[in-house]
Structure 1
Amino acid sequence: MRRTIHHTTLALAALTLALAGCGSQTDSGKGGNGNAVSPSPTPKKSPPASPTPGPTGGCTTASTLGAADSGRTVCLAVGDTVRISLDGTAKRPWKPVTANGSVLKAANSGFVLQPGDASAAFKAVADGKTRLQSTRPLCAKQPGQVSCLGIQEWWVTVVVK
């Protein structure tokens, strides 16, 4: 007796395997571990922020932020400048870093030399609290292959006093 496997069953199995592989693929480019749900390579570390007492208890001071700083709260004084450098890849590029509200004003961040990187600088211009944020694809897009639609989010809360 001969068994027949339906094409639908084969397609469903192939799709399941392809999607499962997306979360376990390695990223050969630079990356950050932000809030990704899959493992990624260890990013270049930005200088560690030094703890200072602040209104949120976990507030630190930092003049440079990188992918490893995602989720932190940093404190700035009015007039201070914070620089952000997120290392991405051409296949997993970071979107430009944005700031909500009027607490921070965009400043000249210099040049972005590598495709996929995001570079930004903001000057603290008023007391208050805001959020810096950026996103990038969780999985690299590869023409002709199944890709996931996951997003890696990077964000930092900034308190200006």
Structure 2
Amino acid sequence: MSWSKPLRSMVFAGLALGLATSLGACSFAPVYTGPLASQPMLNLAYAKPNSRLEQVVYQELALRFGSSDAATAPLATVSVSSSAADTMLSATANPSKAIEVTVTATLTITARDGSTAPAQSFTRMATASYTRNGQVLADNAAATEAAERAAKAAAESLRLAVLAGLSR
């Protein structure tokens, strides 16, 4: 069955109008700029890192949010733990072993401006994989790199959690 040209153009115009109306009801807010990203709550002061993974998380958060040296800036404290697990379920003839590193990061933001606002806490996990092949130096370098990749992913997830918490 062939549609006539006027009927085809009316259907197309109706679809375009319906799509424009439905998308007009949506609203999007940018995550990197705009009023959400410029809130005073995001002018954070960061605690001193206790480990390399904490330093990675602090650096990622400071890169995204910026940092403040003001005495009244909210204090961001991060604690990071990591664990590695062998992902091979059975022994194989292949000497390479897949290992998965899991990093759990907890961010606590405490107000220091004299208000009685409770501290906000966010916890996120991220994983990264690497392959161990029996060469000690290469295995250690791969484990360190995988843990740092997981820490960066956890920091990004923490950043999004903070922005989501502020938008409520």
TM (norm. structure 2) is: 0.28
Structure number with the higher strand fraction is: 1
Query: Which of the pair has the greater relative contact order for Cα pairs under 8 Å at 6+ separation?
Result: 1
Higher fraction of helix? 2
Larger radius of gyration: 2
Q: When the two structures are superposed, what TM-score results if normalisation uses the length of structure 1?
A: 0.29
